[in-house]
Amino acid sequence: MDLLPTPEQDEITASIQAVLTDRHTLGQPMSDELWTAAADQGWFGLGMSEDRGGVGYTIVEEALLCIELGRGCVPGPFVGTILASAALEADLRAQIISGERRVGLAERLGDGYRILDGESGGLAVLLDEMVLGEIGELSAEPCLDPLTSLGTTSEWRDVDEAGDGDRATLLIAATLAGLAAATTVQSVSYGMDREQFGQPVGGFQAVKHRCADMAVKSESALTQVHYAAIAFHDGQHDDHRFQIEAAAVVAARAAVENAEINIQNHGGIGFTLEHTAHRYVTRARVLAGLRGGLRTHLADLLAQPV
Amino acid sequence: MNLDFTPDEDAFRVRARTWLADNLPTHERPPQGQAMREFDVAWQRTLFDGGWAGINWPVEFGGQGLSDIQQMIWYEEFARADPPFTLNNSCTFVGNNHGGPTLIACGNDDQKSVHLPAILRGDEVWCQGFSEPGAGSDLGSLSCKAVVDGDELVVTGQKIWTSYADVADFQELLVRTDPSAPKHKGISWVICDMTFPGIDIRPIETMAHTTDFAEVFYDEVRIPLANVVGQMNEGWRVAMSTLSFERGTAFMADQIELAKVVENLIDEARTRTGPGGKRPAIQDEELSRRLATCRAEVAALRAMTIAGISRNRRTELPGPEGSMIRLFHGELHQRVYRLALDIIGADAFRLTSIDGEGVWTGPYLQSFAYTIGGGTTDIQRNIVGERVLGLPRVK
């Protein structure tokens, strides 16, 4: 029993961070350079076995990847594409893992579908049923998160499977946990740099204590995501759904609450579009709202046997 | 990262479960005084005789020499067995979780060989003597003074918030041995025999109606210099190791138990009528969401506990990260009992003891201690902010 990442897992995390540092700027749209590097590094097939064209790691490493995508507040169709690497048809799967085909996220909306990070005629994972499908003509709408493309469509054609729904919940939770950690870092950093009354504001207990609460929230989310990922991977823990739903709850709360308090910690500059603090609020709100959002996860968790 | 128990750990769990089923006391724990002490030390002695005392203590001091994971498994099995008492409320808590571990880390050979086996056998009950009326959160400003006279320290002053002072044999006592040094440099950590002349104990009744709390007065109490743990005037460092245990692993039993408390509360909410008087409480939207949130948070608390154990395995002493767990745990514990009172409604009017089967009101009153004792949550937040996150220190 050990809940700290292994040296190999730390290396994976470090290499992901190096790519993100190099190819991603917080607040900017996802660059094609990042997408290409991600594909080259095998991010889209990280958890798939080598004979299926993947890297041969597990859901645990997929979760570590999503934590870093959250920490970097990286926009773009990452989660959908990672989920879609579970597709059964070999050619399609190869196109997804190679980054050639990008995969958005879809949820049912009345008789039609709401699509995130998709394009007309492109692919998306329908989270309600965990199927991979081709979407029709999209009518675009402005999104709460300006770096996420939002649209609706009435056309959908099932193409393949998209893996387990618990895996989707876990990877979204992992991304949220990463967001929660990132806002903690941003608030602490601002608390050290910003001076008022002749001292860094992070020295004042009002600010320091909010940062401490953020740290506790993000730590609890990250740790529970780790635990749930291993439980899911092992397959021998009959409580893995319990653990994943618990991760979804603590991670969604941590990401949203930390992002909101991060704005407050920054004062006036945090309210501007120029500063990046708002990125975390809108990103967290969109991700936390998927798969029915917190209310659904709470109900699912309470329905789990112990 | 793995969640696997070794075959040894699995076998340990089975042994613990079997033993607990046969040996757990079935009668209620007396709430106070000598009867309470007798109950607690009898249980400690039963543990010792059964080979379960000091699970993660070194074998040379009478412990079992096992891992923190095995200690956690023990606590899980203890909670699972539905005991009629809470380990955190036992008068053996300080010996097992502060005094003992501090002696293991900082004591000399004599101190270890005298006290450690005795703590494990249930022959010695320990209490804490850190806080003073003028030194609570600002512990470093303590003024209880100790003057060297020959081979003795002469102690005069006062301590407060000392749980179980009236039934304890020894005390982990912080005294000021060098008043001219900067405040953190002139403190010593000494073992005080509670039978020494000049000690006066006055009980303090808590809001949970327990009387094991006390203030302790020292009037020229003579303590052998041999009782100083660590070096003279190095007591702050020793005390910080004591507190790192308190913030690190001491509350493991309680953290594990809380998961069981939440499940018991969910059962209560299934059988009790909720607001409005028609449906079960669990069908009330607000209550059910709070229950689910508590369930998620105790799961995360367990994960954090295991991560903490994993981290401690790589370091000598528990690090400041323990304060994150302590802070999360203390506030979560309160949220759980606050929710319990909201669920049981007017049944909460009947005052109960602070532990036992199916009681909520007493533990609710007791829960206020969880964000005060061992460093208030404000102090824990300072530690997290300054020592984990590196924010500027409070002046």
pLDDT tens string B26-62: 888 898 889 999 999 999 999 999 999 999 999 999 9
Residue carrying the six token digits 């040894």: B8
- The one-character DSSP state at A41 is T
State whether residue A57 sits within 8 Å of chain B by CB.
Answer: no
Q: Which of A90, A83, A93 is nearest to A129 (CA)?
A: A83
Side-chain half-sphere of A284: how many Cα atoms within 13 Å?
Answer: 31
Residue carrying the six token digits 């917080």: A26
How many other CB atoms are found less than 10 A from the CB of residue A171?
27
- Which tokens hold the place of B16? 């613990």
Residue B288 lies in a domain: yes
For residues B319 and B219, membership in a common domain is answered with no
Structural domain of B202 = 127-233
For residues B373 and B279, membership in a common domain is answered with yes
For residues B309 and B365, membership in a common domain is answered with yes
Confidence at residue A212, expressed as pLDDT on a 0 to 100 scale: 98
Q: pLDDT at residue B317 above 90? A: no
Residues in chain B within 8 Å Cβ distance of A231? 3
Residues in chain B within 8 Å Cβ distance of A301? 292, 295-296
For residues B221 and B142, membership in a common domain is answered with yes
Residue B246 lies in a domain: no
- The one-character DSSP state at A30 is P
Chain B: nearest CA to A201, how far in angstroms? 9
Q: Which residue, B79, B94, B125, sits at the end of a domain? A: B125
Confidence at residue B244, expressed as pLDDT on a 0 to 100 scale: 73
pLDDT tens, residue by residue, A152-168: 999 999 999 999 999 99
Confidence at residue B383, expressed as pLDDT on a 0 to 100 scale: 93
Residue in chain A lying closest to B270 (CA): A302
For the segment B342-355, the average pLDDT, to the nearest whole number, is 93
CATH number of A165-303: 1.20.140.10
pTM of the model: 0.95
B124 is known as an active-site residue:
no
Q: How many pairs of residues across A and B have Cβ atoms under 8 Å apart?
A: 156
Please tell me which of the candidates A209, A226, A245 has its beta carbon nearest to residue B385: A209
For residues B289 and B340, membership in a common domain is answered with yes
Please tell me which of the candidates B9, B299, B310 has its beta carbon nearest to residue A2: B310
For residues B265 and B319, membership in a common domain is answered with yes
Largest Cα span, chain B: 75
Name B296's Cβ contacts closer than 8 Å, sequence gap at least 6. A224, A245, A246, A247, A249, A250, A298, A301
Name A294's Cβ contacts closer than 8 Å, sequence gap at least 6. A249, A252, A253, A288
State whether residue B390 sits within 8 Å of chain A by CB.
Answer: yes
Confidence at residue A209, expressed as pLDDT on a 0 to 100 scale: 98
Question: What is the rounded CA–CA span in Å between residue B308 and residue B322?
Answer: 7
For residues B275 and B376, membership in a common domain is answered with yes
For the segment A125-149, the average pLDDT, to the nearest whole number, is 97
Pairing of strands B199-204, B213-224: antiparallel
* A302·B391 Cβ contact <8 A: no
- Which tokens hold the place of A171? 């990877």
* B3·A250 Cβ contact <8 A: no
Residue B243 lies in a domain: no
pLDDT tens, residue by residue, A18-57: 999 999 999 999 999 999 999 999 999 999 999 999 999 9
Confidence at residue A132, expressed as pLDDT on a 0 to 100 scale: 98
Chain B from 262 to 321: CB within 8 A of any A CB:
263, 266, 282, 288-289, 291-293, 295-297, 299-304, 306-307, 309-311, 313-314, 321
Residues in chain B within 8 Å Cβ distance of A200? 391-392
* A246·B299 Cβ contact <8 A: yes
Name B260's Cβ contacts closer than 8 Å, sequence gap at least 6. B79, B80, B82
For residues B132 and B115, membership in a common domain is answered with no
Confidence at residue B319, expressed as pLDDT on a 0 to 100 scale: 77
Set B246, B268, B297, B321: catalytic member: B246
State whether residue B7 sits within 8 Å of chain A by CB.
Answer: no
Q: pLDDT at residue B89 above 90? A: no
Q: pLDDT at residue B316 above 90? A: no
Question: What is the rounded CA–CA span in Å between residue B223 and residue B227?
Answer: 7
- Which tokens hold the place of B219? 């009037």
% of chain B at pLDDT higher than 90: 82
Instruction: Tell me the pLDDT band of A234, cut-offs 50, 70 and 90.
Output: confident
Confidence at residue A63, expressed as pLDDT on a 0 to 100 scale: 98
Chain B: nearest CA to A306, how far in angstroms? 8
Q: pLDDT at residue B395 above 70? A: no
User: In chain A, which residues fall in CATH 1.20.140.10?
Assistant: 165-303
Instruction: Please tell me the total count of domains within chain B.
Output: 3
CB B37 within 8 A of CB B125: yes
Tell me the C-alpha to C-alpha distance, in Å, between residue B59 and each of B51, B62, B113, B120: 11, 5, 12, 11
CB A139 within 8 A of CB A120: no
Q: Which residue, B200, B233, B266, sits at the end of a domain? A: B233
Residue B152 lies in a domain: yes
For the segment B199-210, the average pLDDT, to the nearest whole number, is 95
% of chain A at pLDDT higher than 90: 98
Chain B from 314 to 373: CB within 8 A of any A CB:
314, 321, 324, 327-328
Q: Which residue, B90, B125, B160, sits at the end of a domain? A: B125
For residues B144 and B75, membership in a common domain is answered with no
Burial of A143 (0-12, 13-18, 19+ CB in 10 A): middle
For residues B111 and B190, membership in a common domain is answered with no
For residues B257 and B370, membership in a common domain is answered with yes
Q: Which of A188, A187, A173, A210 is nearest to A284 (CA)?
A: A173
Tell me the helix, strand and coil percentages in chain A, rounded to 5.
Answer: 60, 15, 30
- Which tokens hold the place of A28? 């900017």
For the segment A5-18, the average pLDDT, to the nearest whole number, is 97
CATH number of the domain where residue B63 is located: 1.10.540.10
Residue B395 lies in a domain: no
For residues B284 and B367, membership in a common domain is answered with yes
CATH number of the domain where residue B273 is located: 1.20.140.10
Residue B244 lies in a domain: no
* A224·B296 Cβ contact <8 A: yes
Residue B242 lies in a domain: no
CB A61 within 8 A of CB A44: no
Name A209's Cβ contacts closer than 8 Å, sequence gap at least 6. B378, B381, B382, B385
* B4·A205 Cβ contact <8 A: no
